[in-house]
Structure 1
Amino acid sequence: MNDISRHLTRRRLLQAAGAGAVAGVLAACDTAPPAGGDGTGGSGGPLTWWDHFNPLQDLHQEVFAQFQADTGIAVEYTPQQTAEMGEALRVAKQSDQLPDVLTNVGLNLPVPALIAENWFQPITLTEDALAALPPEALAEGVHTFGGETYTFPIFNFRQYWAATWFNRDLVQQAGLDPDAPPRTYDEFRAAARAVADTGGDGTYGWMVALGQPPRLGEQINMLAQAGGFEGLNGLDFRTGEFAYHHDAYVAAVEFWLSLRDDGLLVPGTEAFSDADARARWSAGQAGYYLDGPWCAGVVVQDLAEFADKLDVGPMLVPEAGMDVVSYRGPQGGAFYLSGPSERREDVSELLSMLTTPEYYRQLAAHMDQPPLDLAAVAEADVHPAYAKLIDWYQDQVYLAPLPVSQNPDIDLVNAEMPLIEPDLGMTIQGLFAGELGDVRTALRDLSDRSEAAREEALATAREAGAQVEFEDWAFPDWQPRQDFTADMYG
């Protein structure tokens, strides 16, 4: 038993058990594979695979077909909606029906905690697969834990998820230049107003998926970076302190709220997931929609009639003269072998197929997140807007420092971190609903609660033997607009 497993707390067990409360409701959705030996037990029968990468369905079906041709083992594939993935997985775990391969989207716990709760187990990649991965691809505390590999990236870290996607037809109809998209908050407001005024009844300036809190949080985190916050997910790089109440966060949230107050937001989005919002936006309900690079892949695959109208601008900044910048840690793993699965050898062989140059070219062609090998984009047939956005990423996105690389014992703290609710996305929901009042006060409360949660986790981890100080989250020598590479750690 590793350190992470030994430090599993009673609170974690209660959190996992609490998922059973929704099992009766969701069982009728029949999203889990049928009970029996073929799902996660034994060495025979098909492997089971769940993921939320909608644009990659065809690609992975091709991989599964090749795997079956090579090994005789079929793969039963169940695509999931991003917003529903976490609940479906919790129900499946409660009923001992986890698929062999899964993603961690919606589980809302650090990977060390998920390992401790037997969600994941290590994989054994083939020698060819390991040789194909660049040396920096596998990071301890992200992909490897205790020296064992649990996952690996298929995507590149150079990306942000708040690009300004728009409907070229509505923009041109409004008398705007689609080749000069808005870049500042004020320019966006003016453009959204022009689209709403000229688009006719039922057309608004802006669409947002208010019913999907994680996506709200992701986008505000990235808009805050572009607005001047020098940190990641609320943590200031130099001090290691939580600072959701920083001016850049406040400005980004207040900007969104002002668009609502100006009548530019499509009404009734409180229940919309990203799939709902994107489909309605593509149908002409709004001119602009903030989204990640996968927007192009989803449109081409599922909303093809809109593809010729699709275009994109960079992430917005608060004021003219500011350059877009974003910071992201090492790209996380895409797929995991479930803890209860008895198919480690088969799954490891299957996952090893996702490290080849041909896979990266096909990954680029399906236009989800950019492939680990960015050069593959130039070799693939992609939508012009996707190619443009990937080019911007290479000048606008930088590698962030990773606290666990500074002190591996931070993993033991992460394994003890309690859920922070309301988190950033939920706080944004509450502000839109008028339940939380002042933006800065609500965000400062989030900072305080986040700090308190870390203090609690740190105390518990120290009692169990972890040697960690608050200073281990701080990088006082960090400099903006440069990658924080392995040689920069103390």
Structure 2
Amino acid sequence: MTQHTIGRAGGPAFSRRTLVAGAGLAGTAVASPWLVGCTGGGEPAAPATDGGADTGTVTWWDQFRPLTQLFEEQLFTPFEESHPGVTVERREMDGPAMGQALQLGRRSNQLPDVHSLAGLDGSPASLQAAGWFQPLDDFVDVDASPVADLLLDGVHRFDGELYTVPVFSSRWHDAIPWLNTELVEQAGLDPEDGPASWDEFRAALRTLDQSSGDDVHPLVVAAKAPPYLVALLDRLAMSAGGVGPVDPRTGEYAYTTDPYLEAMELLLSLQQDGLVHPSSASMDTRDARARWAAGEAAVYLWGPWFIGGLTVQDTAAIERGVGVWQLPTSDGTPPHLYSGPPGGTFWVSSQAVHARLGAQIMMSMVEPEFQRMLAGAMDQPPVLTEVVAEADVHPAYRRNVELMAESVHMAPVPQVRNPDVSRVLAEMRQIDPGIGQIVQAALTDSSSDWRSALQTYQDAITAERDRAIEAVTADGATVSVDDWRFEGWQPGQDHQQ
């Protein structure tokens, strides 16, 4: 019988996008110095070289509350039935609690067999370098799997060994305008054909403001959550012509370029015009979704998993009406957004007692039938995105996946071209205050000099990358800033890794 320990209610943790970025997009994620330098009391427990016993309890930790029923009924229970003597004990938590539990578990040699990375700072490369995981090669045959052609060095493989497989697609973004269609229609707006430009978006929000009561607001922003604000700024900058935190054409950080400055100005103008829910500063992503579901806001910019979370806790909101718009752009042209290739979602821990069994469960997640059921949960789209067309999903979810297929392109990944880039990412230290804190300060303090703060951060992160390159080069790596440059890359197209 599968066991579950349920943490705080809600959808996926807001760190999800950050982790995808760490696995792929421009190689910009950096590791927390506390994470790399203080990852436990002594060395992690040595994994069983034979993968552990073939019976017993497999422990599994993740943050995917909307997938609870699917995991229990279609993943763990069938595995238990086909493996007599095996049970799966799953613990579900929100992102911050998950990160704390993983840190404590590592220090006390009590990590689960399999876990996601929710709540952990740093890129997968930095975590692998710190000894968090163990490879899968001895436990599963990946060459025959449906995702064999998607496995990349520096993303799924490190030092020639496989550590994870992609379960979800990365052709998505986390600034999707999710709509309360009842409020949108009451305002005389079209829930199917949304504003194309930022000016039209502002006008639509003003119309929503004028048509609603004092307790209903046009837009809600999860401003208490710095990772959410990082993702939101990245995506809004892309909708102004930006290409990501690091420009693949130059290899330079882009936080002081016009797209980022314009994105900040847009966010601040919406707040200054009174179009943002006044309690946004105290809301994390789940709070914001709950306020939206209660009818307090008409629009919430968030990821594709938004509607999957509603099916778990706020079905009344779905019955009232959920729609989706394409993300508007600064000039009204079709958006071009960028993500890295799909990274790993689950990892076998270095302290796993049942590593082989955990790896086998992970591999069963990429089979077409489970991928079809995964699509039906309406979380992050499955890595085999073609199954969404035949899955039982809400029309707004299907429409959103179609829009993302048109607008999201695969960005170049430096560590795929040169695996030594992963060593740089592992060496890099976190810069404080980070982008999320800078955006947060600007939204809560009108006197904030956010332009200078962005420049200071860009200078610091550039210097930190230079320092990390020098450090790993002295230790035998062959890497330079040139590895972040892709001179032949064309914006608006998929980069062939």
TM-score normalised by structure 2 residue count: 0.87
Contact 1:185/1:319 (CA < 8 Å) preserved in 2? yes
Alpha-carbon distance, 1:423 to partner: 1.9
- Structure with bigger helix share is 1
Alpha-carbon distance, 1:163 to partner: 0.8
Contact 2:340/2:413 (CA < 8 Å) preserved in 1? yes
Q: Deviations over 1:276-307 (max 9, x none)?
A: 11011111111110011111111122211111
The counterpart of 1:313, out of the listed 318, 325, 335, is 325
Contact 1:125/1:349 (CA < 8 Å) preserved in 2? no
**What is aligned with 2:346?**
335
The alignment's C-alpha RMSD in Å is 2.3
**What is aligned with 1:224?**
237
Q: Deviations over 1:326-384 (max 9, x none)?
A: 11111110100111112111111111211211011001101111111111001111011
Letter in 2 for 1:317: T
- Say whether 1:67 aligns with 2:70: no
- The change in CA–CA distance for 1:289 and 1:14 in structure 2 (over 3 A counts) is closer
Q: What SS is found at the alignment partner of 2:214?
A: coil
1: CA distance between counterparts of 2:461 and 2:102?
A: 26
**What is aligned with 1:293?**
304
2: CA distance between counterparts of 1:20 and 1:210?
A: 32
Alpha-carbon distance, 1:106 to partner: 2.2
**What is aligned with 1:401?**
412
Q: Deviations over 1:81-129 (max 9, x none)?
A: 1343322322322333222111112212122221232221112476665
- Say whether 1:360 aligns with 2:371: yes
**What is aligned with 2:383?**
372
**Aligned residues between the structures:** 456
The counterpart of 2:209, out of the listed 179, 182, 196, is 196
**What is aligned with 2:46?**
none
Letter in 2 for 1:442: A
The counterpart of 1:138, out of the listed 147, 151, 154, is 151
Contact 2:35/2:121 (CA < 8 Å) preserved in 1? no
Alpha-carbon distance, 1:41 to partner: 8.5
**What is aligned with 1:32?**
none
Q: What SS is found at the alignment partner of 2:301?
A: strand
Q: What SS is found at the alignment partner of 2:251?
A: coil
Letter in 1 for 2:270: L
More off after superposition, 206-215 vs 79-88: 79-88
Contact 1:125/1:348 (CA < 8 Å) preserved in 2? no
2: CA distance between counterparts of 1:302 and 1:312?
A: 19
- Say whether 1:169 aligns with 2:177: no
Alpha-carbon distance, 1:131 to partner: 1.4
1: CA distance between counterparts of 2:330 and 2:411?
A: 22
Q: What SS is found at the alignment partner of 2:56?
A: coil
- The change in CA–CA distance for 1:117 and 1:246 in structure 2 (over 3 A counts) is same
More off after superposition, 429-438 vs 288-297: 429-438
Q: What SS is found at the alignment partner of 1:142?
A: coil
Q: Deviations over 1:173-216 (max 9, x none)?
A: 11222222223222222222222222212111110111111121
Q: Deviations over 1:413-454 (max 9, x none)?
A: 111011122222122112112287233322222211110110
Letter in 1 for 2:342: Q
2: CA distance between counterparts of 1:291 and 1:378?
A: 22
Q: What SS is found at the alignment partner of 1:132?
A: coil
Q: Unaligned regions of 5+ residues in structure 1, if any?
A: 1-10, 22-39
2: CA distance between counterparts of 1:114 and 1:406?
A: 20
- The change in CA–CA distance for 1:88 and 1:59 in structure 2 (over 3 A counts) is same
2: CA distance between counterparts of 1:162 and 1:213?
A: 14
2: CA distance between counterparts of 1:12 and 1:253?
A: 25
- The change in CA–CA distance for 1:360 and 1:98 in structure 2 (over 3 A counts) is same
Letter in 2 for 1:224: A
2: CA distance between counterparts of 1:275 and 1:105?
A: 15
**What is aligned with 2:115?**
102
Greater RCO structure (CA 8 Å; 6+ sep): 2
**What is aligned with 1:386?**
397
1: CA distance between counterparts of 2:190 and 2:403?
A: 19
Q: Unaligned regions of 5+ residues in structure 2, if any?
A: 1-30, 42-50
2: CA distance between counterparts of 1:162 and 1:212?
A: 14
- Say whether 1:159 aligns with 2:172: yes
**What is aligned with 1:92?**
105
Q: Deviations over 1:48-79 (max 9, x none)?
A: 11111222111111211111111131111111
Letter in 1 for 2:327: M
2: CA distance between counterparts of 1:272 and 1:144?
A: 37
Alpha-carbon distance, 1:15 to partner: 4.1
**What is aligned with 1:323?**
334
Letter in 2 for 1:355: V
**Aligned pairs (5 A) from 1:10-89:** 14-16=34-36, 45-62=56-73, 63-72=75-84, 73-89=86-102
2: CA distance between counterparts of 1:319 and 1:139?
A: 36
Letter in 2 for 1:313: W
Alpha-carbon distance, 1:252 to partner: 1.1
Tell me the percent identity.
38
- Say whether 1:420 aligns with 2:431: yes
Contact 2:140/2:360 (CA < 8 Å) preserved in 1? no
**What is aligned with 2:124?**
111
- The change in CA–CA distance for 1:13 and 1:167 in structure 2 (over 3 A counts) is closer
The counterpart of 1:237, out of the listed 226, 243, 248, is 248
TM-score normalised by structure 1 residue count: 0.88
Letter in 1 for 2:399: K
